[in-house]
C-alpha cells in the first residue's frame, strides 16, 4: 500500500468507523455467536499473495463485527465502562504515526516530556497530594501503564525490594549472611488486600512467588476494609512469623465500589512507619479514581499522602481509549532501584548525566507506546469542566435508577446504594435462597434479551446484579428502559414462584 492508497483506504475507514459508532445503539450489546465461530469463516492459513484492501474491510463487517461486544453501547452496563471518544481516537492515529518503542528520552523527547506534563495535570485534576507530582521535592511522579494490573505488579516489585533492603540494611553488602537473610525473608513475605480487592493483587503475589492474605470485610461497613480488621490481620501474620510488606487499599471496589477506611488503615500501619517493617500501601482506584474530578469527591484523595502509590484508569471513565492506566509514586527512586538495568546499547549522554527521565525504569517492559498523546488530546478537547460533566452524568443516572428501584420495594431491595455510577440490586423473596435464585433468574433474562448487558457479583453468598451507568452514551431513556425490563422480569418471576 503506497501513500495514495493509504489516503483512500484511511478516509474510507474513518467513514465506516463513524457509521459504526452511529449504529451502535441499534445493535445487540452482547455478541451473539458460539465459541469457535470465527475459524470456519477464515482460511486455514495466511494468504500467499496480497489481497485487496476492500476485501479486508468487507470481512471486518461480515466476520469480525458479529463477534464484537459493543462496549460503547448505551445498553452496556456491565463491569465498568471502557470509554473512548473521537479526540482519543484521533490521538491514537497520531500515536501510530509516531510509532516507536520510546523507552529512552532520546528515542523521542516529546514522548517522555509530554507524559510528565499530562500526568501532573491529571494529578492536580483529581486532587492528588503534591508529593505525587513530578516536580515535588519528594521526587515523585506519574507514569502511564497499560492496565491497573500491570501497575500493581510493578509497585509490588518495588515494595518487595524496598522491604528486603530495609530489613537487611544492617548487614554488609556482598556478604553471605545478607544473602541468606534475604532468602529467608523472601519465604515469609505476604502481600495483603481486602476480601473485596481486585484479583490483580492475588495474581501479582502469585507472579512474584509471595504469599497473599486477605483482610475480611462485612456488609455493615459496606464491604470496605476497616483499620481494626487490618490491625488484627497484621497481628495474626506476626504471630505466625510472617512479614507483610505490601497492601492494596481500594477506592471503588470492583464488586460494589466500596472505599476502604483510609484513616483507619493509616492508624493500623502507623507503628510500622519509619521502621524496616514499613508496609507499602498502593491505592487501587482503577475505575472510581475518575470520580475525583468532581469537587465533592476530592477529599477522598487527601489521605493518599500517607501512602506510597496511586493508580486509576482514564481508559475506564475518562473518555480515553484503552490502554491508558495512570500510576503515581511518592518516590520514583523506589521504582528505578528495582527496575533499572543499563546495558551499553541503552546508554546515552542525556541519561548518563541524569538530565532526563527514562520511563523504561518505571515499568517492567522496555518498550512503551506514546499513550500520553491521547490523554493530552482528551484533556484539551473536553477541558476539566467537560470531563466533570461527563462523570457527573453517570453518577446522576445511577442515583436515578436507585430511586426507581426503591419505588418498588415489593420487587427489589438495594444491595449497595448508588456510588460512582454503580448500583447493585436483588429481587425480593422470603428467604435468602429464593432471593438468590430469583435475582440470578432476572439477571439471565435481562442479558438474554440483548438490549442490555449487565454483570453480577456474589458477596457473602449473596447474589446481586450490578448496574454501571458510566458509559458515555447512557441517558435517562436508557435507564428508564432498563428499569421497565427489570420490573417486567421481576413481576413475571415472582408471579411464577407463587403459582
pLDDT tens digits, 446-480? 999 999 999 999 998 999 999 999 999 999 999 99
What is the predicted pLDDT for the residue at 100?
84
What is the DSSP annotation of 272-300?
GTTSTTPPEEEEE-TTGGGGGGSGGGGGG
CA angle centred on 143, ends 136 and 167, rounded to 5°: 70
The Cα 245–Cα 419 span in angstroms is: 31
What is the predicted pLDDT for the residue at 350?
64
What is the predicted pLDDT for the residue at 487?
97
> Cα-atom radius of gyration of the chain, to the nearest Å?
25
What is the predicted pLDDT for the residue at 499?
64
The Cα 359–Cα 366 span in angstroms is: 9
Residue 232: half-sphere exposure toward Cβ, Cα within 13 Å: 10
pLDDT tens digits, 245-301? 999 999 999 999 999 999 999 999 999 999 999 999 999 999 999 999 999 999 999
Backbone angles phi, psi at 463, to 5 degrees: -90, 130
- pTM, full prediction: 0.93
pLDDT tens digits, 128-184? 999 999 987 878 999 999 999 999 999 999 999 999 999 998 888 888 898 999 999
Q: 148-167 and 176-186 helices cross at what angle (nearest 10)?
A: 140
> 318: which 3 cell numbers?
475518562
What is the predicted pLDDT for the residue at 27?
93
pLDDT tens digits, 15-50? 999 999 999 999 999 999 999 999 999 999 999 999
What is the predicted pLDDT for the residue at 210?
96
The Cα 466–Cα 223 span in angstroms is: 15
pLDDT tens digits, 404-430? 999 999 999 999 999 999 999 999 999
In angstroms, how far apart are the furthest CA atoms of the chain?
81
pLDDT at residue 395 is higher than 80:
yes
Contact at 8 Å (CB) between 373 and 95? yes
Contact at 8 Å (CB) between 282 and 156? yes
What is the predicted pLDDT for the residue at 175?
81
The Cα 382–Cα 384 span in angstroms is: 7
What is the predicted pLDDT for the residue at 349?
66
Work out the percent of the chain whose per-residue pLDDT is above 70.
97
What is the predicted pLDDT for the residue at 71?
93
The Cα 119–Cα 321 span in angstroms is: 16
Contact at 8 Å (CB) between 360 and 103? yes
Burial of 26 (0-12, 13-18, 19+ CB in 10 A): exposed
> 29: which 3 cell numbers?
450489546
Instruction: Give the pLDDT mean for 348-355.
Output: 64
Amino acid at each position: 500500500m503506497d501513500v495514495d492508497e493509504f489516503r483512500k483506504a484511511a478516509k474510507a475507514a474513518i467513514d465506516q468507523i463513524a457509521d459504526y459508532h452511529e449504529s451502535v445503539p441499534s445493535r445487540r450489546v452482547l455478541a451473539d455467536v458460539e465459541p469457535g465461530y470465527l475459524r470456519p469463516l477464515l482460511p486455514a492459513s495466511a494468504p500467499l499473495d496480497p489481497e485487496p484492501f476492500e476485501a479486508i474491510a468487507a470481512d471486518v463487517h461480515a466476520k469480525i463485527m458479529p463477534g464484537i461486544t459493543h462496549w460503547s453501547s448505551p445498553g452496556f452496563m456491565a463491569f465498568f465502562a471502557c470509554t473512548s471518544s473521537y479526540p482519543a481516537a484521533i490521538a491514537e492515529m497520531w500515536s501510530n504515526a509516531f510509532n516507536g518503542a520510546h523507552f529512552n528520552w532520546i528515542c523521542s523527547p516529546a514522548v517522555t516530556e509530554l507524559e510528565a506534563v499530562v500526568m501532573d495535570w491529571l494529578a492536580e485534576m483529581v486532587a492528588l497530594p503534591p508529593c505525587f507530582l513530578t516536580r515535588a521535592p519528594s521526587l515523585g511522579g506519574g507514569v502511564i501503564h497499560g492496565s491497573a494490573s500491570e501497575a500493581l505488579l510493578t509497585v509490588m516489585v518495588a515494595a518487595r525490594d524496598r522491604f528486603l533492603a530495609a530489613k537487611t540494611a544492617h548487614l554488609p553488602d556482598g556478604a553471605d549472611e545478607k544473602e541468606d537473610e534475604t532468602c529467608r525473608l523472601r519465604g515469609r513475605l505476604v502481600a495483603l488486600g481486602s476480601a473485596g480487592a481486585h484479583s490483580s493483587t492475588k495474581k501479582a503475589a502469585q507472579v512474584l512467588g509471595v504469599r497473599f492474605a486477605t483482610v475480611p470485610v462485612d456488609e455493615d461497613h459496606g464491604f470496605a476494609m476497616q483499620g481494626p480488621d487490618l490491625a488484627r490481620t497484621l497481628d495474626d501474620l506476626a504471630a505466625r512469623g510472617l512479614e507483610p510488606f505490601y497492601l492494596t487499599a481500594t477506592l471503588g471496589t470492583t464488586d460494589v465500589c466500596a472505599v476502604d477506611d483510609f484513616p483507619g488503615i493509616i492508624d493500623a500501619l502507623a507503628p510500622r512507619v519509619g521502621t524496616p517493617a514499613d508496609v507499602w500501601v498502593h491505592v487501587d482506584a482503577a475505575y472510581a479514581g475518575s470520580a475525583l474530578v468532581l469537587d465533592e469527591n476530592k477529599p477522598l484523595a487527601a489521605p493518599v499522602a500517607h501512602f506510597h502509590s496511586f493508580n486509576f484508569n482514564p481508559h475506564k471513565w475518562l473518555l480515553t481509549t484503552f490502554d491508558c492506566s495512570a500510576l503515581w509514586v511518592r518516590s520514583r527512586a523506589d521504582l528505578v532501584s528495582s527496575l533499572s538495568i543499563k546495558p551499553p546499547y541503552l546508554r546515552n549522554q542525556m541519561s548518563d548525566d541524569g538530565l532526563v527521565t527514562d520511563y523504561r525504569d518505571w515499568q517492567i517492559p522496555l518498550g512503551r507506546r506514546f499513550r500520553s498523546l491521547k490523554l493530552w488530546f482528551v484533556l484539551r478537547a473536553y477541558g476539566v469542566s467537560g470531563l466533570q460533566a461527563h462523570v457527573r452524568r453517570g453518577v446522576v443516572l445511577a442515583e436515578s435508577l436507585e430511586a426507581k428501584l426503591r419505588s418498588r420495594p415489593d420487587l427489589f431491595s438495594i444491595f449497595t446504594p448508588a456510588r460512582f455510577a454503580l448500583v447493585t440490586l436483588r429481587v425480593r423473596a422470603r428467604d435468602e435462597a429464593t432471593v438468590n435464585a430469583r435475582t440470578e433468574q432476572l439477571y439471565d433474562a435481562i442479558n438474554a434479551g440483548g438490549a442490555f448487558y449487565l454483570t453480577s457479583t456474589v458477596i457473602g453468598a449473596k447474589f446481586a446484579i450490578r448496574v454501571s451507568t458510566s458509559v458515555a452514551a447512557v441517558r435517562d431513556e436508557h435507564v428508564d428502559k432498563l428499569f421497565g425490563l427489570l420490573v417486567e422480569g421481576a413481576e413475571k418471576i415472582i408471579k411464577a414462584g407463587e403459582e
